Amino acid sequence: MTALTDADFVAQPIYLACVVYAVFRGGIGSGLASSAIVVGDALIRAIAVPFGLDAPLRDVKVVALACLLVVLVTGHLKRRADRVGELSRANQQLAGQLVERDRSHQAATALAAMSREIAEPFERRRVHQAIVSTILDLVDAHHAMLYWLDATSQELVCLATAGTVDETRWLGHRMPVDQGLAGRAIHDHQLLAIQPAADADDGARQRLAMPLRVRGKVVGALTFDVIADKAIAETDIQVLAVFAGHAALALENAQLYEELRVTLAKLSESQARLIDEARLRATEEVAAGVAHHVNNRLMVILTGIQLLMPKLTGEEHRRSLEIVERAALNTAWLIERLRQFTLGRAKDTAESADLNLAVRRALEICRSEIAEADARGATVDIALDLGSIPRVVADEPLLEQALSHVVRNAIEAVVGRGIITITTWPSGNAVMCSIADTGTGMPEEVARRAAEPFFTTRGPLRAGLGLSSALGIMRQMGAQLEIVSSVSVGTRVAIRLKACGS
């Protein structure tokens, strides 16, 4: 009885301390279970001691105490492991949030860059390349392709590529709007994705396409790819939706800007033609009135000279009248040139001419000008490159005269030694003639006014009707004349005539 009491004296406080710890750390359930064990132990001891079973009971209590200690230590370690797991999960969640914030920052940066592209000048090529480059950075894509919807033909036109796509193969490629992944995305009005086959390699990629809409109208589509096992999160879809809106607006603005630029260029060209036409009409009216009045007065002068000639017996007086008569005839010739210039209207009946033959005859007409150039110390070489061309719609004498005017101007522009190259060649339904010299050339402002009537930079002895007469004759025949000149390089006059039968 004493031994049992000593053992109880040692074990019971430890056992009670374990019970209290179990209640404090393990919860109410563990505490109730431990309390039940204590009560059960007291009952068993009250029964077992009278029968002399105190020694086995003491051994059982020691084993139970050891088991309880093992359970408590194991529970403690498990709770610590659970806390470590919770911390690990919290760390993982925090790391995911940091990654998500980083991706959101990258997306915001890319969208800001796209906004700058929209606000800057709308050069189409640069805007198109910015869109496909941005999508590569936005979703870590492998390659991307941008399509424009041609409303007229209902086709998707590839405008730009980025990444590993063969640009020479796909740029400008057309496909019907109802075909391909891009066409399906436009039809379904949403982002579409195609997963690779189940037996594909680990590096396989999924293809995605999204429509580009602005103000409810589809203007194109964007296709790209990402790694197959990379999930497209909800935030990615939201970012792509915002990006698609920016890209569509940039695409439409760039297209509208280009159309506006082309329209302005055509308008400027039409305005220049209208100004030329108005100038020609005004010159025609002035020249017609001047020619009428001057011819009337020249007729009076020439009639008087012819009446006086037979009555004069002195050789000196006759010579003076002949000089006056020659001056009157030269004036009449100048008026005729002015009148021919004012005939800048297309004829009702089309005639045909041999342009190569007209070139050779114009050179014959200008032979005296070449001799004059030699006299003033300039050497003019003529280089002919006359191609195999059809006959042109033109009046042959007028064509020869117009060409002679251009050649004469080229000869006068040569200083020292120079070459005049005359080339003819077919161009579609037209025939081209180029007369280029290596003379002094003209500044841009002078070249722009070179075809104006009476405009000349060669002094008061020049009438300034050479190129203007050539321009009037060409327009009379429905042809076109263009002057390109550079100082110290030379001048090139390009003539475009209609080919017969075109």
228 and 132 fall within a common domain: yes
What CATH number is attached to the domain comprising 158?
3.30.450.40
Token pair 């949030």 is at which residue? 97
- What counts of helices (H) and strands (E) characterise the chain? 13, 13
The reply to whether 309 falls in a domain is no
What CATH number is attached to the domain comprising 430?
3.30.565.10
Q: Which residues lie closer than 8 Å to 373 by C-beta, 6 or more apart?
A: 379, 380, 411, 412, 414
Residue 362 in contact with residue 404, Cβ under 8 Å? Answer: yes
Classify residue 481 as exposed, middle or buried by CB count within 10 Å of its CB (0-12, 13-18, 19+).
Answer: buried
**112 CB-side CA count, 13 A:** 6
Strand, helix or coil at 376?
Answer: coil
Provide the strand spans (E) within 215-316: 217-227
The reply to whether 337 falls in a domain is no
Confidence at residue 67, expressed as pLDDT on a 0 to 100 scale = 61
Last residue of a domain, one of 243, 258, 273: 258
**167 CB-side CA count, 13 A:** 7
Find the radius of gyration of the CA atoms of the chain. 50
Q: Among the residues of 342-395, which ranges form H helices?
A: 355-365, 367-375
Last residue of a domain, one of 91, 125, 159: 91
Per-position DSSP letters for 478-489, written without gaps between them: T-EEEEEEETTT
Confidence at residue 99, expressed as pLDDT on a 0 to 100 scale = 66
121 and 232 fall within a common domain: yes
> How many domains does the structure of the chain reveal?
3
Backbone phi and psi for residue 498, each to the nearest 5 degrees, phi listed first:
-75, 135
Nearest-angstrom CA–CA distance, 178 and 285: 60
476 and 353 fall within a common domain: yes
132 and 85 fall within a common domain: no
181 and 253 fall within a common domain: yes
Confidence at residue 111, expressed as pLDDT on a 0 to 100 scale = 61
Confidence at residue 341, expressed as pLDDT on a 0 to 100 scale = 56
358 and 494 fall within a common domain: yes
The reply to whether 267 falls in a domain is no
209 and 148 fall within a common domain: yes
Confidence at residue 102, expressed as pLDDT on a 0 to 100 scale = 67
Nearest-angstrom CA–CA distance, 124 and 106: 25
Residue among 425, 428, 450 nearest 439 (CA): 450
The reply to whether 266 falls in a domain is no
Residue 493 in contact with residue 427, Cβ under 8 Å? Answer: no
The reply to whether 315 falls in a domain is no
Q: In what helix (H) or strand (E) does residue 492 lie, and over which residues does it extend?
A: strand 490-498
Domain of residue 349, residue span: 343-498
353 and 434 fall within a common domain: yes
Confidence at residue 253, expressed as pLDDT on a 0 to 100 scale = 84
Residue 497 in contact with residue 435, Cβ under 8 Å? Answer: no
Instruction: Give the predicted TM-score (pTM) of the model.
Output: 0.41
374 and 458 fall within a common domain: yes
Backbone phi and psi for residue 492, each to the nearest 5 degrees, phi listed first:
-130, 125
86 and 135 fall within a common domain: no
The reply to whether 106 falls in a domain is no
Confidence at residue 419, expressed as pLDDT on a 0 to 100 scale = 93
For each of the chain's 502 residues, which pLDDT tens digit applies? 444 444 454 455 655 566 555 555 555 555 555 555 555 565 656 665 565 555 555 555 555 556 666 666 666 677 777 777 777 777 777 776 666 666 666 666 666 665 665 555 567 788 888 888 888 877 778 888 999 888 888 899 998 888 877 778 888 889 998 888 888 888 888 888 887 765 656 556 788 889 998 888 888 999 988 876 666 666 677 778 888 888 888 888 888 888 888 888 888 888 877 777 777 677 677 777 777 778 788 888 888 888 888 877 777 777 778 777 877 776 776 677 666 655 554 444 457 899 999 999 889 888 888 888 888 888 999 999 999 999 999 888 788 888 988 998 889 888 888 999 999 999 989 999 999 999 888 887 777 666 665 555 554 444 445 677 788 778 878 888 888 888 888 899 999 999 987 6
CA-angle at 478, arms to 457 and 437, nearest 5°: 35
56 and 147 fall within a common domain: no
Query: Quick one: tokens of 336?
Result: 């005729």
The reply to whether 6 falls in a domain is yes
Q: In what helix (H) or strand (E) does residue 380 lie, and over which residues does it extend?
A: strand 379-386
Nearest-angstrom CA–CA distance, 253 and 246: 11
Last residue of a domain, one of 258, 278, 293: 258
122 and 244 fall within a common domain: yes
Starting at the edge strand that comes first in sequence, how are the strands of the sheet with 417-427 ordered? 379-386, 417-427, 430-437, 490-498, 480-486
In the 8-state DSSP scheme, what is residue 197? P
Per-position DSSP letters for 143-159, written without gaps between them: EEEEEEEETTTTEEEEE
Confidence at residue 385, expressed as pLDDT on a 0 to 100 scale = 93
The reply to whether 317 falls in a domain is no
